[in-house]
Amino acid sequence: MRRSHSSYAFALMAGLTLAALLVLWRLAGAQLAFGGSTGGTAMPAPSLGAPPAGSAPGSDGTTPTAPSAPAGAPSPYPPGASGWVFPLYPLSRVASPSWWTLDQGVDLGGGANQCGPRLLELAVASGIVRQGLAGFGDEAPVLLADSGPDSGRFIYYGHAAPALVPAGAHVAAGQPIAQVGCGIVGISRAPHLEIGMLPAGAGNPQRLPAMGQTSRETMSNLRSAYRSAVVAERARKAAAKRRRRPSRAHRR
């Protein structure tokens, strides 16, 4: 009897081990199915300036908020020649385009700690928001654009959390719709945004594009929007600097 109990325990342990290995194998397969780099890698420190002093998480574990781009306010960036508004705010916390990589969409982001309220995701065009994508998280927004050259197309934002607008909401171009998810959100290795676009005429937002199907088009749109955002940000800083000069002269 003792021998049969021992054999049963051994068989049970072997079965559980085999099941665990099968789960790990399926997760690895899913990672490859999303192009390997869907998880992304930690981006370098932002190239357009360091975060302001005191922006690191506090000793009480709280995370400070990023400069706000509230709903209803004008877009913080003008659209680029492609018609897109750059999808990350603030620009000072975004890694340079040389670090963006092609995937089913395009992987981009900030440093490893640039996530949550420190880095917001903006609607690249106006449209209706849906949520949830396999492999990208339950709160990943999917924008059905209704303006610009890509009107009628689905644009997805992978690895976002939390969402800032409810499913079914109509948003304006440049409106914050989510935060870059901290930690592992979906099939991910580091905080980042994977933004991608479904082919024209696609009717099911859950059927994501194949590797390389639309990613180069997405990259072109992003680069155009980024250039426009950089020009606007430099003009804003120059205007602020000019406004400060008279007040300094007056004090003298």
Encode pLDDT of 15-28 as tens digits. Answer: 656 555 443 444 33
Q: What is the DSSP string of 5-54?
A: HHHHHHHHHHHHHHHHHHHHHHHHHHHHHTTSGGG---B-S-TT-PPPTT
Place of tokens 């992003």: 222
Domain 39-50+75-251 has CATH 3.30.1960.10: no
Instruction: Please report where in the chains the tokens 């357009």 appear, as a residue.
Output: 48
Mean pLDDT for the stretch of residues 113-138:
89
Instruction: Classify residue 69 by burial, with Cβ atoms within 10 Å: 0-12, 13-18, 19+.
Output: middle
Most confident residue range from 32-46, 101-115, 179-193, 229-243: 229-243
Q: Which of 12-16, 49-53, 65-69, 180-184 has the largest mean confidence?
A: 180-184
CA–chain centroid gap for 243, Å, is 34
**pLDDT tens digits for 153-175?**
999 998 888 999 999 999 999 99
Model pLDDT, residue 182: 86
Distance CA 193, CA 115 (A): 10
- CA 171 to chain centroid, in Å, comes to 17
3-class DSSP state of 104: coil
pLDDT for the residue numbered 4: 53
Is the pTM here over 0.75, yes or no? no
Percent over 90 (pLDDT), the chain: 48
Spatial CB neighbours of 184, under 8 Å, sequence gap ≥ 6: none
- Kindly report the number of other CB atoms within 10 A of residue 213's CB atom: 16
Phi, psi (5° rounding) for residue 197?
-130, 130
Instruction: Provide the CA 17 distance to its chain's centre, in angstroms.
Output: 36
Around Cβ 56, how many Cβ atoms within 10 Å?
11
